[in-house]
Amino acid sequence: MIVWVNGAFGSGKSTLVDELRPRWPEALVYDPEMVGYVLREIVEVPTGDFQDLRLWRRQVTNLAVGLVEEYQRPVLVPMTLVNPGYVEEIFGALRDAGAVVHHFFLKVSEEVLVKRIDGRSFTPDNPERDERVRQWCKARIEPCTTAINALPGDTVFLDGELPPKKLANDVLARVGGSPGR
């Protein structure tokens, strides 16, 4: 089983997965951003977004399926994925491989997203780069919010402004995960 936690930057994907992890100890956490970071070290990313690399999408899918098959454990995936073509490509390939995919999307107001992004430090040793990353994240708020209508019909929308514990309870209830603490 794959539990994909989606949403805009600052919506609370990683926070929700961090809340789920101790309550669902058999689940593995897989962050596809790591695949992007590796690819950036090897090849040029002309658009600046590694999701535009076909190889990234293929590797994300292959690794997720491999984790499920090899370890027979649920996999938690915190990753923004809103390009309709990429969503269809990745989720379709996961399902074609026999993976059960539960897709959650955290809905958060633009005001709260901006506040959360401004409150984060991405590269503390490099303030100029930190600000560029913040601006990049903010520039993706609108595409994330408009993509909501193009997400798969089985997407479960959650109020990302609720406390993480409440959101984790909801996710676990929907996927049949461990009740945890």
What is the C-alpha separation between 1 and 69, in angstroms, rounded? 10
The pLDDT > 70 percentage for the chain reads: 97
What is the C-alpha separation between 91 and 105, in angstroms, rounded? 14
Q: Among 86, 42, 98, 82, which Cα is nearest to 60's?
A: 86
Per residue in 96-120, pLDDT (tens digit) is: 999 999 999 999 999 999 999 999 8
Average pLDDT, the chain: 94
Neighbours of 85 (CB within 10 A): 9
Q: Which residues contact 18 (CB under 8 A, 6 or more apart)?
A: 164
> How is domain 2-172 classified at the CATH fold level?
Rossmann fold (3.40.50)
Per residue in 38-50, pLDDT (tens digit) is: 999 999 999 989 9
